[in-house]
Amino acid sequence: MNPAVTARAHTNIALVKYWGKADTDLIIPQTSSLSLTLDQFYTDTTVQFDDHLTADEIRVNDHLLSATAGQKVHKFLNLVREQTQRTSFARVTSVNHVPTAAGLASSASAFAALAGAASRAAGLNLDRTALSRLARRGSGSATRSIFGGFVEWQAGHDDASSFAKPLEEDVNWPIAMVALVLDAHRKKISSRQGMQTSVTTSPYYSAWKDVVAHDLVAIKPAILARDFITTGEILEANAMRMHALTLSSQPPYSYFNGDTLAAMQTVQQLRDTGIACYYTLDAGPNVKVFCQVADLPVITEHFAQQFGAQNVIVAHPGPGIQFN
């Protein structure tokens, strides 16, 4: 029996979003993107290849997945087997410290951790660029979770050229991301389904690609210069323009709910009182509030009163992938 390997990967929140694939099989995005890895949300995954198994055994949060439910993981493990000419099946045990499929990037940490644990368990010793490329094949945003801090995913044009690289991993900027868990249930429209609908039906999709290119050029120097206001304005506008694609698709759809809109309004009200903070959100109703550490007491108190303290989670810049 081969040794088991455990990896931990953290989620990331895209500040400049990727929304749409140019290649759905290789998961090559239509645009580049930029994210911040978060310390509070992560996945621990252990993988062991075992010649005695007759099928991949996949357990998530202490629940054994059926063959159908585990198909994406099985397909990903096949990629690892192809790279190593390994034929044995694997035992996968994963614990997800993220609400699944609720717009908190659970697939990013899940497939980044799986890529790390599975590749090492199979005998590969991939550098982080190669690991980023491999993680991408499971979930696009997973390519960014290999690294900590601020990370850019370069879209590229093929498997070799599409990978993430860190902009700044050791973040000493006193910033935070307040996650508001407004609905932890599985979303009705998956990110993959939503993206494809927007790419093929939104009349504004070509303009979106121009928006992303502009925002990437603007946000990187702002981050490196510790320009909080400019960074916040860019990430908030980028998020809203991404969600405009969902509303302009056919049929139109939205990831917002009433609490989403209320949270966004609260952020705007806080800004009106002089508290600099900005909202962003991915494919789900849960809002993330970009703020400065000094303002956390006021911000968290407002949202605790509005949504309950148990639904307000403070996150800071997090690390890249870690192994046992």
Give the DSSP per-residue string, 240-275: HHHHHHHHTSSS------HHHHHHHHHHHHHHHTT-
The residues, ordered by sequence, that sit 6+ positions from 89 with a Cβ below 8 Å of its Cβ are 49, 50, 53, 54, 55, 56, 57, 77
How far apart, in whole angstroms, are the C-alpha atoms of residue 285 and residue 259? 8
Structural class in CATH, domain 175-315: alpha beta
What pLDDT is recorded for position 105?
A: 66
- 250-300: pLDDT as tens digits: 999 999 999 999 999 999 999 999 999 999 999 889 999 999 999 999 999
What pLDDT is recorded for position 138?
A: 96
Where are the alpha helices (H) located in 122-257, listed in sequence order?
A: 128-136, 191-201, 205-224, 228-247
Q: Answer whether residue 229 shows pLDDT above 90.
A: yes
Comparison of pLDDT for 231 and 181, the residue scoring more: 231
Structural class in CATH, domain 5-170: alpha beta
The residues, ordered by sequence, that sit 6+ positions from 269 with a Cβ below 8 Å of its Cβ are none
Confirm if 44 and 94 have CB atoms less than 8 A apart.
yes
Domain 5-170 identical in fold to domain 175-315: no
- 117-147: pLDDT as tens digits: 999 999 999 999 999 999 999 999 999 999 9
Confirm if 224 and 253 have CB atoms less than 8 A apart.
no
pLDDT-derived band at 2, boundaries 50, 70, 90? confident
- 298-323: pLDDT as tens digits: 999 999 999 999 999 999 999 999 99
What would the mean pLDDT of 231-248 be, rounded to a whole number?
Answer: 97
What pLDDT is recorded for position 253?
A: 94
Rama region for 236: left / alpha / beta (φ>0; ψ in -120 to 50; rest): alpha
Q: Which residue type sits at 154?
A: Q
- 149-166: pLDDT as tens digits: 999 999 999 999 999 999
What pTM was computed for the model? 0.95
Extents of the domains making up the chain: 5-170, 175-315
How far apart, in whole angstroms, are the C-alpha atoms of residue 267 and residue 239? 14
How far apart, in whole angstroms, are the C-alpha atoms of residue 312 and residue 223? 25
What pLDDT is recorded for position 99?
A: 64
Give residue 38's Cα distance to chain centre: 10
Distances in whole angstroms, Cα of residue 274 to Cα of each of 99, 117, 298, 312: 32, 45, 11, 21
Rama region for 264: left / alpha / beta (φ>0; ψ in -120 to 50; rest): alpha
- 179-189: pLDDT as tens digits: 999 987 777 88
- 57-93: pLDDT as tens digits: 999 999 999 999 999 999 999 999 999 998 999 999 9
Q: Tell the burial category of 85 from Cβ atoms under 10 Å away from its Cβ (0-12, 13-18, 19+).
A: exposed
Closest among 298, 282, 299 to 290, alpha carbons compared: 299
pLDDT-derived band at 103, boundaries 50, 70, 90? low
Helix, strand or coil, per DSSP, at residue 311: helix
What pLDDT is recorded for position 185?
A: 75
